[in-house]
Structure 1
Amino acid sequence: MTNKKLKPIMFVGTGSDVGKSVIAAGFCRIFKQDGYYPAPFKAQNMSLNSFVTPDGLELGRAQAVQAEAAGIPCHTDMNPVLLKPTSDKSSQVVLNGKPVGNQSAYEYFMANDRRELFFAVKEAFDRLSTNFGPIVLEGAGSISELNLKHRDITNLRMAAHAGAATYLIADIDKGGVFGSVYGTISLLTEQERALMKGIIINKFRGDGRLFEEGKKMLEDLTGLPVVGILPYFRDIHIEEEDSVSLESKFKSSVEGKINIAVILLKRLSNFTDFDRLEQDPRVNLFYTNDPAEIGKAQIVIIPGSKNTIADMLAIKNNGIAKAIYDVHKSGRTVIGICGGYQIMGETIEDPHHVEGEIEQVPGLGLLPVQTVLQSVKTTLQCEFAFRESAETGVGYEIHMGETKISGQESPVAVLSDGRNDGCFLNDKTWGSYLHGILDNENVVEHLLAPYHSDAKTSTFNFQDFKEEQYNKLADLIRSHVNMEMIYDSLKN
């Protein structure tokens, strides 16, 4: 590793979903390739996609992905505040990896504890920066939300604390790039403006040279260099941060593939559980809440949920529950992961009002299990053996329920600490608490075997695939961003 010390770098946006998290991952890989020891940081994340650290704490999945790109284990200091929406108005607040309660959006954004939260995130950053460098910071949403800026703990106040060279990312594919960039920069204070080192235009379709005139106009308007114009790409697969990206996955069944329907729950969490399956050449995986499309699938997966009872009631009322039951009755495969496992059972009870006022609902009744939601969250990384397999698999638990099996236990997996996980009714009907279980090759082959004569011939390695994607992303950024200007801005 190089001994040269670089300042932190921060990527902020003209708005949400402009590509900050993917670009930050790309720079984590570039700095690793160039002999540095980078680490990602996002002060506050709002997402239902989370991950568990090696020491059993929770952080946003995007920072876990960025840490993987940097080649280091993830740690809660990389994402000290995580907000997990439980309803349209309320979120569970996770601080330094542990839940500290639920708050409404008004309570969270208006209460005095923002001062304490900002202190906590600065401490996390300072700890991280003693061991890694450069730190690759990611902002949230827009940096010019005037009504929120004075309480902001994520964007330019964090950049100022870190002394980060800050770059504004704009998504040209959304349209209005001149207005969004110029407006964003114009609304900054003089002190905030001094933090800004350049602009990156993202998701440009076509030949970037066609934007040369636009590039000069933006530079003249803002006084900042446009350091890169990144092309729109579909051939590099990096995990997306939020369910906004799910819109591209609302496909439908196709002939000649194993059709896997993931139920599109309103509070769907950890949709990254299905990225390995989505890349499998034998599979057509799609997300849907259309009963007709569910009925065309060979395999139906009920995913995790941040509000299992509300999602259970919703699928009973909109015809999805019947569609799932019909798939099961026809002898096809239905499995559930985490909240989906709870939904497949006979009852879900909430005596402590963890999710709301409803204390009990019937589940789908596909598995002989009963779930009682608990106030204490289980967060663990796990090693396991799937069924009778001799192979060791890896996954992680994030759940607030305890599920008991009626009658004789038939676990999906046996964990390395001796605990049983899940309920295995038969080859085509089972549920598990293990996120990431479907990243393991032997589990995938078991799932697909009834529907593919060559199911055992797959040579797809998901870890190798992910490494290849990070390297491709780094190559793309190097080709379209002036890395010399980036490095110059990071020199002390």
Structure 2
Amino acid sequence: MPARALMIQGTGSDVGKSLLVAGLARVFTRRGLRVRPFKPQNMSNNAAVTADGGEIGRAQALQARAARAPVTVHMNPVLLKPQSDIGAQLVVQGRVVGNTWARDYQSIKAGLLASVLDSFGRLAAEADLVLIEGAGSASEVNLRADDIANMGFARAADVPVVLVGDIDRGGVIASLVGTQAVIDPEDAAMIVGFLVNRFRGDPSLFADGMTLIAERTGWPSLGLVPYFADAIRLPAEDALSLPGHSAPGGAVKIVVLAYPHLANFDDVDPLRLEPDVDVVFVRPGEPIPGDARLVILPGSKATIADLDTLRAAGWDIDLKAHLRRGGHVLGLCGGYQMLGRRVSDPEGIEGPPGSVEGLCLLDAETVLGGDKVLVEVTGKTVAEGVPFKGYEMHVGRTTMTARPLLDLDHGGSDGAIDATGRIAGCYIHGLLADDRQRRHWLQRIGAASSGLDYEAGIEDTLDRLADHLEEHVDCTRLLDLARVPRFDATR
């Protein structure tokens, strides 16, 4: 039987589309359907390595997990990763194809539709149901020409749309009714219903609001979804949603430097769930707290630019004071590159070609360039033999004379650690999602581990999210609204 499809679009960014698709993927997977998530175009520096050796947005990887499906590049065929002086890195079907400015991208979108439809067709061929996530706002009519992310895709692939509004941010009636008012009537005709997300309080108090939206738009109400507080237990995609503190009052403070081009910040998500730990995201203009036990330099999509920001913020001075107090420092990927003596970009990968001095906290040097490394890895720490699993996702090679931090099972080593054992870095993303490694690092800084099983927790949260949606959304009606798309994958 041909696959059916349904698209979830939003009245704006961060209205909960990613979470709803993940929850619905688990709902329909538990009903015995082969579900595949799909996002035609994504803009995010939080990415995941796929089973077929490419990269896609982290949210689609979570949605694939919810659907109990292998992660493939076709789940997010166009990925834009914002950088500094050169706009955004453009990834098509998992592979970097170049860089583009926002204005230039508007002129090349139409040429990407063939790849988008090709990937969509491949997923549909192996599924009973494809759940599609839109990007940003469905009402951005100024960007409608050649759109491949929202209504442009829905029309090209002929898939019905459910529109989501976020009541938590206010103005949900205006945002839903206003969307219908500004979009093309043929686009509006693709919308088969609406959802109101993140409601707090007594649902009966908004019953008149749901009725008013339905009357003004002609779209049926498909559900009022209460706020799902446990969403914090799932990897986030948008850095704008990062909290200032994870557990204020936690005995041990871990600081994460939130520079402008922060990437793969989900590396620290597992720490945020440890009850003895207060994870603090420090932004430019804020000092590194003096009572921090560990400072993490996370990944960066623009290492040299973020290194300049780090110095401008005075964090280089704060780091030296932190180390004098006996604190620990861990650099991950781009953060690892910053810890070395020098970072060079001879090919202009991130911006104008050049070379800058690093923080000189590790005896290592990095040269950006070469093919992008996208690989899942396993191994163990050199000194203690603590196992790990994770993935590499980076451009550049680092040479070091310091002791390596990790031994890799496929051969070779990764990372570096200084003679004191308090300064370390590596290229491995997902290191702290491995319970064995997280317990190891917490022990190093004198923090108590809760015995958290992070991966089991994600599975449990996805199931509870599915239960939540089953209770508050007419999921059977959603499935009935999904239909077999009609499109030409060769266009």
State the one-letter code of the partner of 2:192: K
TM-aligned CA distance change 1:82 to 1:252, over 3 Å:
closer
1:441-484 superposed Cα distances (whole Å, 9 cap, x missing partner): 221122111443754xx421111000011011111111111123
The corresponding residue for 2:80 is: 83
1:251 aligns with 2:248: no
Between the aligned partners of 1:269 and 1:331, the Cα distance in structure 2 is 27
The corresponding residue for 2:28 is: 31
The corresponding residue for 1:235 is: 230
1:263 aligns with 2:257: yes
The corresponding residue for 1:424 is: 417
Between the aligned partners of 2:354 and 2:56, the Cα distance in structure 1 is 29
TM-fit CA distance, 1:294: 3.1
TM-fit CA distance, 1:491: 5.6
TM-fit CA distance, 1:350: 1.1
The corresponding residue for 2:355 is: 360
The corresponding residue for 2:487 is: none
1:413 aligns with 2:409: no
* Of 322, 325, 350, the match for 1:330: 325
The corresponding residue for 1:464 is: 456
Contact 2:387–2:437 (CA under 8 A) maintained in structure 1: no
State the one-letter code of the partner of 1:260: I
TM-aligned CA distance change 1:17 to 1:88, over 3 Å:
farther
Larger mean Cα displacement after TM superposition, 231-240 or 423-432: 231-240
Contact 1:13–1:142 (CA under 8 A) maintained in structure 2: yes
Identity of matched residues, %? 37
SS across alignment from 2:164: strand
Structure 2, unmatched stretches of 5+, are: 485-491
1:74-128 superposed Cα distances (whole Å, 9 cap, x missing partner): 101000110001027710101111111111111111x2x3222011101110011
1:63 aligns with 2:60: yes
Between the aligned partners of 2:458 and 2:423, the Cα distance in structure 1 is 29
Between the aligned partners of 2:436 and 2:61, the Cα distance in structure 1 is 24
Between the aligned partners of 1:156 and 1:450, the Cα distance in structure 2 is 51
1:189 aligns with 2:181: no
Contact 1:352–1:375 (CA under 8 A) maintained in structure 2: no
* Of 452, 462, 473, the match for 2:465: 473
Pairwise mapping of residues 434-473 of structure 1 onto structure 2 (< 5 A)?
Answer: 434-452=428-446, 454-455=448-449, 458-473=450-465
TM-score (norm 2): 0.94
Contact 2:160–2:483 (CA under 8 A) maintained in structure 1: no
Structure 1, unmatched stretches of 5+, are: none
The corresponding residue for 1:279 is: 273
1:144 aligns with 2:139: yes
TM-aligned CA distance change 1:106 to 1:208, over 3 Å:
same
The corresponding residue for 2:478 is: 486
Between the aligned partners of 1:180 and 1:143, the Cα distance in structure 2 is 10
Between the aligned partners of 1:49 and 1:478, the Cα distance in structure 2 is 29
Contact 1:80–1:124 (CA under 8 A) maintained in structure 2: yes
TM-fit CA distance, 1:287: 0.5
SS across alignment from 2:371: strand
Between the aligned partners of 1:88 and 1:363, the Cα distance in structure 2 is 19
1:256-276 superposed Cα distances (whole Å, 9 cap, x missing partner): 521100011111000100111
The ranges of structure 1 where at least 4 consecutive aligned residues each deviate by more than 4 angstroms after the TM superposition are: 252-256, 388-392
SS across alignment from 1:366: coil
Aligned residue pairs: how many? 481
Pairwise mapping of residues 39-438 of structure 1 onto structure 2 (< 5 A)?
Answer: 39-87=36-84, 90-109=87-106, 111=107, 113-236=108-231, 237-246=233-242, 249-251=243-245, 254-289=248-283, 292-357=287-352, 359-388=354-383, 392-406=387-401, 410-425=403-418, 426-438=420-432
Between the aligned partners of 1:242 and 1:252, the Cα distance in structure 2 is 16
TM-fit CA distance, 1:415: 1.6
CA RMSD of aligned residues (A): 1.8
Larger mean Cα displacement after TM superposition, 192-201 or 481-490: 481-490
Contact 1:18–1:202 (CA under 8 A) maintained in structure 2: yes
TM-score (norm 1): 0.94
Between the aligned partners of 2:404 and 2:422, the Cα distance in structure 1 is 14
